[in-house]
Structure 1
Amino acid sequence: MGRSGIILAAIALIIAGCLSAISMAVEDDKTVIGIDFGTSSCRVGFYKDGHVEIIPNDLGNRTTPSWVAFTEDSSSSESPLIGEAAKNQVALNAERTVFDVKRLIGRSFEEKEVQSVMKVAPYKIVKKDRKPCIRIEFKDGESKVFSPEEISAMILTKTKETAEAFIGKKITDAVVPVPSYFGDEQRQAILDACLIAGLNDVTIIDEHMAVAYAYGLHDEEEPVKNILVVDVGDGGTLDVSVLETEYGLLDYLAKNHLGGEDYNQRIMEHFIKLIKNKYGKDVSKDNRALVKLSIEAERTKRALSRRHEVCVELFEHVFQTVTFEELNNDLIMGLVKKAIEEAPRLEKHQIDDIIVVGGSSNVPKVQKLLRDYFDGKLEPKMIVNPAEAVAIGAAVAGHLVIKQRASHSMC
C-alpha cells in the first residue's frame, strides 16, 4: 500500500471512530420514557442516576386521569381538555367527555367489552369501519368522529409533553406496557396512538413483565424462582400471572385475566342473589331489571376502585351497601388458584414470592387473602408503590433499551 493509501486508511479509521463516538453520544443523550397508559389514569417515568423518577404533571400530581373533554365551541384548531381539567367538568359536559377509551382500542364494534361501555358511557359510540368510534356533537349541529387511537393519542401527547417539560428536551422514544391479554390488533392500535402522539420509536411490553423489571427480577442471579403477580387494577380488571425467573431471564408459566365485562357479570350475579335472598324476588329473567342492574354493576365497579364500599340501588328504591371484599374475595383467589393449577409442574408451595400491584391492591383484605392462602409463609411484596410499579418497570425497560443500543453502537 502506498503512502497515500495509508493516509486514506488512517483518515477512514479516524472518521469511523468519530462516527461511532457521535453515535454513542447520541444514544447517551437519548431518553426513553416509560408510560403506564392505564384505563383510568396515566403515569410516566424515566431512569436517571440509578433510579426511576415518576414525573408530576403541571398540577404536581404523579398521575393524570385518562380523560379527554371537548367544549361546545371546540373546533379542529382548538385543543381539548386533558386529564384533571377534563374530569373536573364532566358533570356539566358529560356527552363531550371521553374516558375508558382503552377498553375500546383495537376492538371490533360487536365485542362484549365495547357493548358494556356503550351501556353506561355518556358520550356516543358509533360504528365506523367495523370499529367503535366516538362521536362528539358541537354547537350548530356540527359533529366530529374520533377513533379510540386519536383520543388515546391526545392523552399520550399530554403525557409526552409533561415528560419533555420536566426533562428539558424533546422525547420521541418510549416503552409502553400493555395487558398480557391484549391481542395483536390492540397492541398495534396502541402503537398507532403513540405514533400520532409523536412517539416514533415505541417498545411494547407486557405489564407484568414491567412489574418484574420494577422489582429487579431481570437482575436475579438465582437459577429458578417462581413469582406470583396479582394485579388488582382500577376499572374492574383482575390479572394474575405466574412468572419464572432463571438467572434474570423472565418467562410466563401461566396467566389469567378477568375483564371488565366478566367483572360486571359477577357483580350482577351478586345483586340478583342479594335480591332473591333478602327480598324474595327472582329478577334473573326480568330484562328490565337486568338492564338496571347492569348499569348499577358498572357504576359499582368504578366506585369500588376508589373507595371501600358503595351504596347501590337494587330495585324500586331498595338500597344495599356493597363492600370491595364481598365482591372480590372469590374472584381474586379463584384466579390465583387457577393460575397456579395451569402453571406446568408447579404446586402452591413452589411459589417463592408474591408481588401485588394495581390501584386497588392496597386493600388490606386482598393482602390477607393471599397470606392465608399460603398459610402465612409468604408475605405479599409491596416494596415498590403498587400503583406506580408498571410505570417504574417501563422506565427501567427504557434504560435497558438505551444500554442495548449503546452496546450495538460499540460493535
Structure 2
Amino acid sequence: MNYKNTFTNFTQLLGKSPTDFAVAKEKRHLTHAVECRDGRVSFPVVLNGVSTSFIPEQVLAIQLNKLKEITECAIGSKVVDVVINVPTYYTDAERRSVLDASKIAGLNCVKLVNDLTAVGTAYGFYSTDLPPVDRPPKVVCFVSVGYSTTQISICAFNTGKMKVLATVCDAFLGGRDFDRKLFDKFASDFQQQYKIKEPLSVKATIRLLQECEKLKKAMSANSSELPINVECLAEERDLANKMKRTDFEEMCSDLVQRFQDLLTRCLDTAKLKAEDVHSVELIGGSSRIPMLKNAILSVFKQEGRTSLNADEAVARGCAFQAAICSPAFKVRDFSVVEPCLYPIVLQVDREEGGDQCMQTEEIDGAVAIQSKDMCIEVFPHLHPIPSSRQIVLSRRGILTLEARYADKDALPNQNVSIGTFKIGNPSETFTEPRKIRLKVRMNTHGIFNISQAQLVEEYEKEVEVTVPEDGPKADGSGNAKAEVNAPSNGDVGNQQPAEVNSESTPNAEPDSTSPKKKTVTKKKFTKYHDLSIDVNNMQLSTKQLNEFCEVEANLIQQDKMERERVNAKNAVEEYVYDIRSKIQGPLSPFLTPAESESLLRMLDATEEWLYGEGEEVTRQVYVEKLTELKSKSDPVVHRANEHLNRPMIVENFNRSIMHIKKVLDSLSAGEPTYDHLTPEQVSQLKEMIVQYEGWLHQQMTQQNSRPQTADPVVKVSEIMSQQKAFESTCHPIINTPKPAPPTQTDGPATQNSDQSNNMNNNTKEDNNPKTCHSNKNAKNEENMDLD
C-alpha cells in the first residue's frame, strides 16, 4: 500500500482550517501528511515524480469523477445533475465545500441530502403501514454507526410526509474507535513483551489495525476467546495474542457510554419517551456490534431492527430524492420537513449615532422578533428548513454583518463563523439613517445566505383624486375621503386607499349629470433599491474553482494517457506469450529451425525489456515494439492461415465448376431445362470451364510441391477472386429465363371454344327467368313503333 500517496478520511477535513481542533483529532487516524495551504487543510503528494498538494475539495472531486465514470458506463449516458449525501452534522462551511467539489467534478448538485434524511426517505417510500395525515404519526428512530461517525435521528411519519423531530451526532465516535481500543491494547502488550520502545511504523500500524478490525467483527458473532496473529510486525517479531468479547466490552465502556448518552439526548430533544418510539432502525456497519445493540435495548426498551439495508439505505434515499427533484420521473408525493441543527445568529457592527433597531419578519409578514441588541437569532434550534426571513435595519453607510453559530459546544469543530456580509456601496453615505431590508435564507442544502438586500426609500407625493359632489364628509373641515388612483411609476403605497362611498350597483351606469370635483392630496410611497452584497466565507472563489477545474481536467487526461500506455504495454506482453506458445505448438510446421530460434530469441529479449528498461516508456514505444514483433511473426501466421483455409476454398471453387459442367451435361443429354441457351452461350461456358479449371489445377500442382515453411504460391484471397470472376460470368448465362411460348392463330379450336361459350351463355339465360323475360321485353320494345 502506497500510504503516502493514499488519501483516507478526507471528508472529515472538508471546510476546516489547519488550526481547528477537529483536524488535530483526525490526524491520529491519518497515514499521510497534512499541511496548510491558503488557510485550508492540504495533503502533500508526489504525482508523476513532482511534489504537489491537494485540498480535500479536490480529493472529493476526484472521487466524484470516478463515481461519475462508473455510472456513465452503467447507464450509457452522461451524468450531470446529481444528489449528494452529507453527514447530518455538517456545518455551513463543510456543505459549501461539497458543492465546490461537485463543481470541480463538472457536476450540478441539485440537492445536498443529510444521511439520515435519505434513510428516512427510503423508509417512508417503502412503508405501507403509515397512518394518514389526520392520525398521530408513526415515530421511528434511525441509528447510524459508521466507520468514523455516529448519527441518530427521530422522525415522525404519516402517509406521504416525514418530519425530523430531533437529530444528534458525534463526529468522532465510530467503528474505528473500537478498532483503536484493540490496537492500543495489542501494541502495548507487544512492545512490553519484546522491550520495544519506539512506536510502530506506519505500515505496521496499518497491518495491525486491519487485523483488529477483523477480530472485532469475529467477536461480534462469537463470545469465546479468539486469537490475533500478525507476522513480522516490528523488528522481525510476530504478534500473537487473544481477546474475549467480555474483555473487549469492558475496554470500550467509555465509548458505549458516549453512545448511550447520544440516545438519551435525542429522546430529550424530541421531547419523547421511550414508549413513544414505534421502532429503532439500525444502519451502518458498526451498528452490528453487540454492546451497541444492548445500549439501544436499555434506552428504548426494544431491540433495534435491521429491516433496512445497512450499507445501501442512504444511497436508496438519495435515489428517491433525485427522482423527486428530476422532471423526468413521476413519483408519489412525499414531503420532508427538516430542522436547523445549529442555531444561527446575525451580529451587526455598531454605527455611532445610528438607530440600531432591528426588526425580523417571516416572509409572510408576521413580526417575529424586535430587538435593539446588535445580535439577533434568525434561525433558532430545530427551526424548519428550507426557510426565509426578513430583517429591517437602519443605517447611514455600509452595513457589515457576521453570521455565526450560537452554540459553540454543539458544533463538531471550532469554526463558529459562517461568513461576513458587507452590504451597500462604500462611496454612498447618508446624513440620516436609512432603512435596509434583508432577506436571509436557509436553502435546501442547509446553507445560510443573505439572498437579497434592498434600500427602503419612503417619500411623499401629491396625487390628484376625483371627489363626487355628494361624497361623504370625512371630518368637520369638509374634506372628503376618496379612492386614490395608483400611480403609474411602480411606486408602492404604504396604506390602503379609502373606498368611494357610492350607492351604485355593479351594473349601474354613472350619473353624467352629477358634478365632480378634483383635489390634490399627499400620499406616502415606498421604493426599494437593490444593494450589492459582498460575501466572505469558506467557499472557493471563482478563480480558485477555475484553477482546480483545470487541474482536474489535466488529471483526467493524464489518467486517459496512462490507461492507453498500460493497454499498449499489456498488448505487447500478451502478444509475446501468445506467439511463443504458438511457435512451440500449431505454428511449428510452418517455421524453419532458424526462423523458430530467431523468433524465440526476439520474444525472450522483448520480455526481458518489458520488465527492465521498458517498464515506464511511452505508449508510442510499445506500439513500435509490437509492430516490430508482428513484422517478424506475421508471415508465419499467414502461412498457417493459408494452409488451414485453402482446402475449403479450393473445394468451393471445384464445386462451382462442377455445377457448370452438370449444366452442359444436361444439354448434351437433351434435357429441356437449359435447351433455350444459344450456341454462343454454351460455347462461352465451355471456355470458362477450360480456363478456370486449368488455372486452379496449375496453381494447386505448384502449391502442393512446395514445403509448408515456404510462402504460398497462390493466396486464398486470389482463389476466391477467381471463383467470383468465374461465377459472375457463368451464372448470368445459366440463369437466363426461357422465352415465352408463341401465340396461336385462329382455327378450329378457336371456333369450337366460341361455340361452347355461346352454349354456356344460352344455358345461363334459360336458367334465369328474369333475364329471359327482360330480354323478351327488350325485343318487343325494339319492334314497337314510336310516334
Provide TM-score, normalisation by structure 1: 0.61
Provide the residue aligned with 2:40 in structure 1.
131
Structure 2 unaligned residues grouped into runs of 5+: 190-197, 220-226, 231-238, 332-787
Amino acid at match of 1:254: A
Give the match for residue 489 of structure 2.
none
Corresponding residue to 1:145 among 29, 47, 53: 53
- Answering whether residue 301 of structure 2 is matched by residue 392 of structure 1, we say no
Superposed CA offset, 1:143-177 (max 9, x none): 11111011111111111111111111111111111
The question of whether the paired residues in 2 share the 8 Å contact of 1:191 and 1:202 is answered with no
Aligned pair 1:256/2:182, yes or no? no
Contact kept in structure 1, 2:61 and 2:105, CA below 8 Å: yes
1:209 aligns to 2:125 (yes or no): no
Moved more, 181-190 or 254-263: 254-263
What's the CA shift string for 1:97-119, capped at 9, x where partnerless?
A: 11111111111111222123323
Please, which of 108, 112, 133 is the counterpart of residue 200 of structure 1?
108
> Which position in structure 2 is the counterpart of 1:371?
297
Map residues 10-409 of structure 1 onto 2, 5 A cutoff. 90=1, 93-138=2-47, 142-216=50-124, 220=130, 221=132, 223-233=136-146, 235-260=147-172, 299=209, 303=213, 307-308=217-218, 321=243, 325-326=249-250, 327=252, 328-344=255-271, 346-375=272-301, 378-403=302-327
What letter is aligned with 1:341?
D
Over 3 Å counting, the alpha-carbon distance change for 1:390 and 1:272 in structure 2 is closer
Residue identity in the other structure for 1:165: C
Seen in structure 2, the aligned counterparts of structure 1 residues 185 and 403 have a Cα distance that, compared at 3 Å, is: same
- How far 1:394 sits from its partner (Å)? 0.6
8 Å CA contact 1:223, 1:247 repeated in 2: no
1:229 CA drift (Å): 1.1
Structure 1 residue 268, shift from structure 2 partner: 8.3
State the alpha-carbon separation in 2 of the partners of residues 168 and 157 from structure 1: 16
Distance 1:305 1:146, change over 3 A: farther
Q: Matches of 1:172 and 1:139 in 2, distance apart?
A: 30
Determine which structure has more spread, i.e. the larger CA radius of gyration. 2
Q: Report deviation, 1:354.
A: 1.0
The verdict on how the C-alpha distance between 1:270 and 1:97 changes in structure 2, with shifts beyond 3 A counting, is closer
Contact 2:228–2:240 (Cα < 8 Å) also in 1: no
Deviation at 1:134, TM superposition (A): 0.8
Give the aligned residue type for 2:259: I
CA distance in 2, matches of 1:266, 1:130: 32
CA contact under 8 A between 1:227 and 1:244: conserved in structure 2? Answer: yes
Deviation at 1:254, TM superposition (A): 2.0
Conservation of the 8 A alpha-carbon contact between 1:218 and 1:250: no
Amino acid in structure 1 at the alignment position of 2:273: E
Task: Give distance in 2, aligned partners of 1:337 and 1:264.
Answer: 23
Please list the CA deviations of residues 17-56 of structure 1 after superposition, one character each: whole Å capped at 9, or x if unmatched.
xxxxxxxxxxxxxxxxxxxxxxxxxxxxxxxxxxxxxxxx
C-alpha RMSD of the superposition:
4.2
Distance 1:115 1:99 in 2: 15
SS in 2 for 1:256: strand
C-alpha deviation, 1:204, in angstroms: 0.3
> For 2:43 and 2:78, how far apart are their aligned partners in 1?
30
Q: Sort the Cα spacing of 1:272 and 1:196 in 2 relative to 1 into closer, same or farther, 3 A.
A: closer
Count of aligned positions: 300
1:304/1:240 CA distance change after superposition, 3 Å: farther
Q: Which runs of 5+ in 1 are unaligned?
A: 1-89, 279-287
Secondary structure in 2 matching 1:361: helix
Distance 2:211 2:154 in 1: 26
CA contact (8 A) 1:149 1:193 kept: yes
Distance 1:103 1:311, change over 3 A: farther
Matched residues in 1 for 2:316 and 2:84: separation? Answer: 11
Q: Deviation of residue 225 (structure 1)?
A: 2.3
CA distance in 2, matches of 1:396, 1:131: 34
Larger relative contact order, structure 1 or 2 (CA cutoff 8 Å, min sep 6): 1
> Residue 322 and residue 102 in structure 1: after superposition, are their counterparts in 2 closer, same or farther (change >3 A)?
farther
For 1:356, the aligned partner's letter is L
Give the whole-Å Cα distance in 2 for the aligned partners of 1:201 and 1:180: 17
Deviation sequence 1:74-115 (CA, Å, 0-9, x none): xxxxxxxxxxxxxxxx2xx21111111111111111122212
Distance 1:169 1:306 in 2: 42
- Structure 2 CA distance for aligned equivalents of residues 269 and 95 of structure 1: 24
Indicate how the Cα distance of structure 1 residues 169 and 318 shifts in structure 2: closer, same or farther if over 3 A, else same: closer
State the alpha-carbon separation in 2 of the partners of residues 224 and 254 from structure 1: 15
Whole-angstrom CA distance in 2 between matches of 1:224 and 1:269 = 41
Counterpart amino acid of residue 401 in structure 1:
C
Contact 1:218/1:248, CA 8 A, preserved across alignment: no
Runs of 4+ residues deviating >6 angstroms: 261-275, 310-313, 317-320, 404-407
Q: C-alpha distance in 2, partners of 1:300/1:108?
A: 30
Q: 1:258 to 1:195 in 2, by over 3 A?
A: same
